Structure 1
Amino acid sequence: MLKIEGLTIHYGVIPAVKELNIDIPQGKVVCLIGTNGSGKTTTLRGISGIIKPKSGRILFEGKDLSRLDSHEIVRMGISQVPEGRGVFADLTVLENLKLGAFIRKDKQAINKDLEEVFALFPRLNERKHQQSGTLSGGEQQMLAMGRALMARPKLLLLDEPSMGLAPIIVKEIFKIIKRINDEGTTVLLVEQNANMALSVAHHGYVLETGEIVAQGTADELQNNDMIRRIYLGIH
């Protein structure tokens, strides 16, 4: 579904990612793991059109995205849940969710999707008229995910969904990621919590200073001694 070929992105003169090659098959969960500053978020921003690549191609269903604007990429079927959640604090939960459907005109289907988001995240339904800034971190993460789903994406980009959340909430979020994927949405997951990422992913890539240092199925990465030692904390 998504193929990244030789992607290089610079911040000024500093290369943030170098010659990346990544494949994301339709219907799968693929994770990018790595420490802070390894280029994970930059890769997602390149896919979303927030940053323009210096070289390389990003092919989505065979079309090159690398020169398109972000709103055009959303229309093609890619939604991103940003790091830090990025909800509109002064708007209600319902208003945030409706904003996620801003590119759509199909009113009836939008209402049906709202019901589906509330079924996926019952807590959002309970708080739908509440200002988003008053929600807990976990609820804001759920709202950011629900808002992205309102665009009906074929590919969902998730940037650090576990960041700053209590372990019990992290488990809940990852159960929902698995469910979203089971229902047919392809997922690209960027995550520092390698254990959680590999528990839901089919395939993973390990980034270090903007380059891929390892890749494989989730099982292969979980059994790789270097990965176990550095990223999973297993000696």
Structure 2
Amino acid sequence: MLELQELLVSYGVIQAVKQLSLDVYSGEIVALIGTNGSGKTSTLRSISGLSGHIQGRIQFEGADITKLAPHRIVELGISQVPEGRGIFPDLTVLENLKLGAYVRRDKAVIAEDIRKMYQLFPRLEERKKQLAGTMSGGEQQMLAIARALMARPKLLLLDEPSMGLAPLIVKEIFTAIRQINKEGVSVLLVEQNAKMALAVATRGYVMETGSIVVQGTAEELRDNDVVKSIYLGISQ
């Protein structure tokens, strides 16, 4: 479904991503883990057409999307939930959801999809008339995910969905990620919580200083000595 070939992302003289190659197959959840500053967010932003200077090739369902505008990438079927959520704080929950469907014109189906989002995250229905900026961090994360799903993506890019959230809310978010995937949406998940990420992922990649240093199935990464000591906190 998605293929990154020798991706290089730079901001001026700084190379955030260096010759990175990875792929996501239809139906997978793929985890991309690494420390702060390793290039994970820049990788996601490059897929969405939001990064700085890019070299290399990004293909989605066989089409080259490397130089496409962000709105065209959304239209093709890729939605991103950004780090920090990026909700519109001065709009209501319902208004945020409707904005997520801005590339669509099927009003009746949009209304049905809003109902589905309320089923996925019941708290959003309870707060549908509430200003998004007044909600808790966990509720805002639920809204950010639901808003991205309103574009009906084939591939969902999630950037640090557990950041700053209480453990019970993190569990709820990851349960929703599993459900989203079961319903046919592939997921590329950037996450510092390696334990949670590898619990839901099919495969994974580990990034350090802009490059992939380890890759494999989720089980292989959980058993990898480097991953266990650095990312899972398991001493040898």
Q: Please report the TM-score for the alignment, with normalisation by the length of structure 1.
A: 0.99
Cα deviation 1:53-109 (Å, max 9, x = unaligned): 431100000111110010110000000000000110000000000000000000111
- Contact 1:7–1:53 under 8 Å retained in 2: no
Matched, 1:137 2:137: yes
The one-letter code of the counterpart of 2:176 is I
CA distance in 1, matches of 2:13, 2:54: 10
Q: What letter corresponds to residue 167 of structure 1 in structure 2? A: P
Listed as ranges, the matches of 1:34-49 within 5 Å are 34-49=34-49
- Separation of aligned partners in 2, 1:158 and 1:25: 16
Q: Which residue number in structure 2 is paired with residue 25 of structure 1?
A: 25
1:131-182 deviation per Cα after TM superposition (whole angstroms, max 9, x unaligned): 0011000000000000000000000000000000001100110010011001
| 1:1-235 alignment, distance < 5 Å | 1-235=1-235
Contact in 1 for aligned 2:11/2:52 (Cα 8 Å): no
Cα distance in 2 for partners of 1:90, 1:96 equals 9
What is the aligned length? 235
- SS of the residue corresponding to residue 189 of structure 2 reads strand
Runs of 4+ with deviation above 3 angstroms? none
Instruction: Letter of the 2:36 partner, please give it.
Output: N
In 2, the alpha carbon distance for the partners of 1:206 and 1:53 equals 23
Residue segments in structure 2 that go unaligned for 5+ positions in a row? none
Given that 2:6 and 2:18 are in contact with CA atoms closer than 8 Å, whether structure 1 keeps it comes out as: yes
> Aligned partners of 1:64, 1:140: CA distance in 2, in Å?
33
Let me know the Cα RMSD of the aligned residues: 0.6
Aligned-residue offset at 1:11: 1.0
CA distance in 2, matches of 1:23, 1:52: 21
Distance 1:52 1:68 in 2: 13
How far residue 52 of structure 1 moved from its aligned partner, in angstroms, is 4.6
The residue type paired with residue 146 of structure 2 is G
1:211 maps to a residue whose letter is S
User: In 1, Cα distance between the equivalents of 2:172 and 2:53?
Assistant: 35
Q: Is the 8 A contact 2:46 2:54 kept in 1?
A: no
Asked if the contact 1:52–1:66 (Cα under 8 Å) also holds between the matched residues in 2, the reply is no
